[in-house]
Amino acid sequence: MLEIRMVTRRFGNKVAVSGVDLAIDDGQMVGIIGRSGAGKSTLLRMINRLIDPSEGAISFAGVEVSALRGAALRSWQRDCAMIFQQFNLVPRLDVVSNVLHGTLNRRSTLSTVFSLYPTEDIHTAIDILDRLGIADHAAKRVEALSGGQQQRVAIARALMQDPKIILADEPIASLDPMNAQIVMDTLRRIHDEDGRMIVCNLHTLDTARRYCDRVVGMRDGLVVFDGAPDELTTAVAREIYGADENFSESSTSTSIEPLEPVYRPDREPAYAL
Ligand SMILES: Nc1ncnc2c1ncn2[C@@H]1O[C@H](COP(=O)(O)OP(=O)(O)OP(=O)(O)O)[C@@H](O)[C@H]1O
């Protein structure tokens, strides 16, 4: 279980995250929604310790990860992989090398400098790419791929760490609706098949409803909603997005239209119109 206890983060006078208290069970897929500036990225970045909380504590499986240092901190960052909106890949490098970068923080400096990857790791990388349907692109430079394919390479790199948690910070915000759907389907499939915890920042309500088991709504650094997707009514959405009665859900929609059944074994499949 991931426990976030009364976590606050300040930047100067600005309170980006304010007294957030959340417990997330192993194997949950949680969507965090809210308008720009609500504190979603700051919360995610504190979980994997890209930044530290100003107050409060974050624990995983009973270990206070917000207090870890040195090798123990690096080990936590391996357990907790992060995916970003802009993919954060090396564009001029080939796909496999980018995926192998997921092993960097467990390899020696020497082997890293000379890009010496064990054959076993190369096979694992190809297997992961195959699983994500992009093994055919393994030898291509990342810059030659579409945004959706690049995000799947980033997911493959995360899986190379064999993480317990995947943190995804607006993973589909730069993608067209079709690629957005492919990437969200991929994350959901990883969650369902591997039982990994996924915490995903999303701008859009419809995506959170469609893919997540639980939705957390943030506004001005505070958690203002925490519940099941079907509890996310228009009135609740207004509260989260701070909109008046003219609020329209379409303003937060990605317009994802399923082309194939959405992979949700616990739900009726949604088919293309
Ligand atoms: N490094 C920083 N220095 C100063 N202020 C920051 C920093 N990082 C975030 N903030 C501020 O904290 C608040 C929350 O930002 P955050 O990026 O967490 O929001 P968000 O909900 O993820 O928004 P977005 O979807 O636009 O990324 C914002 O007001 C932002 O300007």
Ligand 1 centre from 201 Cα, in Å? 13
Domain that holds residue 238: 2-252
Gap between the Cα atoms of 196 and 192, Å rounded: 8
User: Could you give the ipTM of this predicted complex?
Assistant: 0.96
In a domain, 245, yes or no: yes
65 within 8 A of 235, measured Cβ to Cβ: no
**pLDDT tens profile 145-155:** 999 999 999 99
pLDDT at 203: 85
- Consecutive 10-residue averages of pLDDT for the chain (273 residues): 98 97 95 94 97 97 96 94 92 93 66 69 93 93 94 95 95 93 95 96 91 96 96 89 68 52 45 28
Question: Which CATH number belongs to the domain containing residue 94 in this structure?
Answer: 3.40.50.300
In a domain, 14, yes or no: yes
In a domain, 164, yes or no: yes
Query: Ligand 1 pocket: which of 41, 82, 202, 219 to mutate (most atoms <8 Å of CB)?
Result: 41
In a domain, 46, yes or no: yes
Gap between the Cα atoms of 129 and 186, Å rounded: 12
166 within 8 A of 83, measured Cβ to Cβ: yes
Ligand 1 centre from 138 Cα, in Å? 35
In a domain, 269, yes or no: no
In a domain, 43, yes or no: yes
Going by the DSSP 8-state scheme, the letter that residue 12 receives in this structure is T
Per DSSP, the residues of 178-230 read HHHHHHHHHHHHHHHHH--EEEEEES-HHHHHHH-SEEEEEETTEEEEEE-GG
In a domain, 185, yes or no: yes
pLDDT at 256: 52
**pLDDT tens profile 89-110:** 999 999 999 999 878 666 555 5
Which pTM does this prediction carry?
Answer: 0.87
CA distances from 273 to 230, 243, 258, 261 (A): 22, 30, 8, 11
What is the count of structural domains for the chain? 1
In a domain, 273, yes or no: no
Query: Ligand 1 pocket: which of 9, 40, 204, 205 to mutate (most atoms <8 Å of CB)?
Result: 40
Residue 142 CA to chain centroid, in angstroms? 20
Backbone angles phi, psi at 123, to 5 degrees: -65, -40
